[in-house]
Structures are given as C-alpha cells and as structure tokens.
Structure 1
C-alpha cells in the first residue's frame, strides 16, 4: 500500500494517556497543526480505548495509527477500531509478513541495513529508525547511499534542539513523544501541547 505522507511530517506519540483525556489532547495537537498520531500499546487496554475514542470523534480528520505493536492479534484489534497504519518497536520478519497481508501500511522499527533490506522485500515504503538519538544524523545520511529512496521515520530522542539536523540528513517524518505530549498529560496541558506542536512544525517550515 502507499502511505500518503508529506516530507517533514510530525507524528505525535501518545503514551500513558487516559482515554478520558485523549480527545482534549488531540484537539490541542490539531490546534498546533499536528494531524498524525500514533497511539502506543505499551498499555494495550488503555491504548486500544484511546484509538477507539479518537476514531469515533475525529474520523478522517486525523491520520490515526497504532504503535508498539508486537503481535498480529494487537494489529487486528487496532485495525478493527480505526487504526490506519501499524508501527512496530523493532524488526520481526514474520510479523511484518502477516501484517502486510492485512492490506494496511506498516512502519516497522529497524536499526541496521540488513533489517532495512528485509523490510524492502515486503515493499514497505517507510521504516522507523529507533532509537534515532543513539545513531545520529550522519548514520541516516549514510543510509541514503545504498537506499536512496528510503523514507525514514526518526523516533527516540528527537527534540526541538536536534530535529533540524535529522531533517537535513534525510528523515521524512518524526515520531515525537514526551517532548510533544508529556506522558500522562491531561486536558490541563492543552496549551503546552499546542505550543509544543507549533514549535516543532515551525522548525520544519523554516528549513531551507
């Protein structure tokens, strides 16, 4: 499948958020210009309920995905309640094979050229490089030598201070966690989240 995503897209990672607060959190993100969201299943029950509520409230207004997916069962549950793409924490060839059969986009976590090569065998268009801050922008730049058309989602340690460097190195999109949406955030954090979103987007918009 093709995933229609613009260069320089911010994906908000929602983790540890109460389902009763998630609508307010997403409203704050939208006000700040962030439409892509990944709901982590690190707490599966809470994450799935967040996905369901977000899909019911926002529908096609947002690009709703599910992250920290480690089993096919989790993927199927999330798809059934509205997830439009699957993100895994690391590379699992068999899991990737089964998820691609579900006719949904998968952004698998990778760390090495070997894992990227295996992902490309499944016509996967975007990979999640995690943890990005343990590798650095130069590694990403070097990857585009053998993989010139590879789209990379940088996740892990991406901040207002370093995102510009990763963007220059060739990252297509960025998964931002607590620097954008603090873990355990509530509606009381809406203004902060909106301001965070505007700051991240501003960095990319001002990139030359």
Structure 2
C-alpha cells in the first residue's frame, strides 16, 4: 500500500487504534479485540515488547492497515517499514524521520502541538500531523488552528475518547486516534479483552456519528 493509498483508507476509516503497553502477552489479543470492535487502522508503538514482530504478523491481514508509533530515528523508520508498517507515527517533528518515511513511500505523522510545528511538519513532507498532547481546549483549539491553515490534516490522539470523538471530527480533524481510552491498562492487566472490544465498538460508533455531523 502506498502513502496515497493509506491516506485514502484513513480518510474513510477516520479512526485508529493505538496500542501502547509493556505487557507483551496482552498486545496481540488486545489489538484483536479492537479489530473485532471495528477498527481497521492499527498502530503498535515501538515501546511495545516485540512490536516489530506484531507489525509483521498483523500486516498479513488484508482487512486492516498496520503502522508503527513512537518512531524516533530513521533506523526505526526503516525497520518498521521492513516489518510491514504502512504508516509511521512519531511524538515529535524530526525531519530525518520524515525523510526516511518519504524515501520508503510510507505515510508519516509527526507529533505536533503548536501551529508552527504543524506547518513545519507539513513543509517537511508530512501530509498528516499528529496533535499531541491534546490541549485542554480540545476541538476549539483545532478549529482555531485550521482557520488560517485549512490544508493541514491533523489527527488528535492523546485525550480522544468516545464522548468527544465526534466533536473533534466536526472541528475538522482528519481522523482521531484512541490510546488508553480504548486499551485501558487495567483491562489489559486483567486480560479482559471483551471490555476492549466493547470500548472499540463504542468508539467506532462515536466516529460514525462524527462522520455524519462533520
């Protein structure tokens, strides 16, 4: 899948499941639960034990698209793409990481917070900009940023949940990413993947309402 293909896929899905956990045995079943709940864009952060193996395994599934998060170096970018990652996400703007992604035709989403950082990422070639961390003003902040820069494709992650996902999309978010509000650490520690699936269904339902109203 090319970066163009991914952007089209993500623009339709409008949501990603972002798994960050230090529980190796919980990672695969947790993401499986999210997929059963309706997620089609799946991200494993490279802080997850065995993340590259998980990316390699899940990338074999034709119904989903898999990416890597917490990519901090060009070497990590290349390793993730070699494992099957279609998109790369970073908590920061690093032009070397962006360049590595572009070299491999992988979509790249650097972490940004200020309008300056968003524009910097965009000018470096990142067609998606991760909003991280989400500001207290939430969707209002995003709407204000997009006023003078409507060409940005901003994806809020941290702080997105079932009750505000629709508001983020209505404010102009390209898509939204669910992290701990989907993969609750207590659920993963308890092995309660049914709860993860329930949360996934609720999240996807909220995104669907956002698509309709956005």
- Give the corresponding residue for 1:23: 28
Alignment of 1:34-183 (within 5 A): 34-43=39-48, 45-56=49-60, 58=61, 60-183=62-185
Q: TM-score, normalised by structure 2?
A: 0.85
Offset at 1:107?
A: 0.8
Q: What RMSD over aligned residues (CA atoms) do the two structures have, in Å?
A: 2.1
Q: Which moved more, 1:89-98 or 1:181-190?
A: 181-190
In structure 2, C-alpha distance between the alignment counterparts of 1:91 and 1:74, rounded to whole Å: 15
- Give the corresponding residue for 1:195: 198
Q: Which consecutive aligned stretches of 4+ in structure 1 deviate over 3 angstroms post-superposition?
A: 17-23
Q: 8 Å contact 1:22–1:54 — kept in the other structure?
A: no
Q: 8 Å contact 2:14–2:174 — kept in the other structure?
A: yes
- Gap change, CA 1:182 and 1:22, over 3 Å in 2: same
In structure 1, C-alpha distance between the alignment counterparts of 2:90 and 2:44, rounded to whole Å: 12
Offset at 1:151?
A: 1.4
Q: Which moved more, 1:172-181 or 1:6-15?
A: 6-15
Q: 8 Å contact 1:87–1:107 — kept in the other structure?
A: yes
- Gap change, CA 1:55 and 1:156, over 3 Å in 2: same
Q: 8 Å contact 2:46–2:71 — kept in the other structure?
A: yes
* Per-residue CA distance 1:117-153 (angstroms, 9 max, x = gap): 2222234221101011445211100111222132111
* Per-residue CA distance 1:3-55 (angstroms, 9 max, x = gap): 22225622111111544443322331222111111101124x52223222322
Q: 8 Å contact 1:17–1:183 — kept in the other structure?
A: no
Q: TM-score, normalised by structure 1?
A: 0.88
* Per-residue CA distance 1:92-117 (angstroms, 9 max, x = gap): 12332233222211011111222222
Q: Which moved more, 1:20-29 or 1:86-95?
A: 20-29
Q: Secondary structure at the match of 2:121?
A: helix
Unaligned runs of 5+ in 2: none
- Gap change, CA 1:187 and 1:52, over 3 Å in 2: farther
In structure 2, C-alpha distance between the alignment counterparts of 1:115 and 1:183, rounded to whole Å: 30
Q: Which has the higher contact order (CA 8 A, sep 6+)?
A: 1
In structure 1, C-alpha distance between the alignment counterparts of 2:33 and 2:22, rounded to whole Å: 14
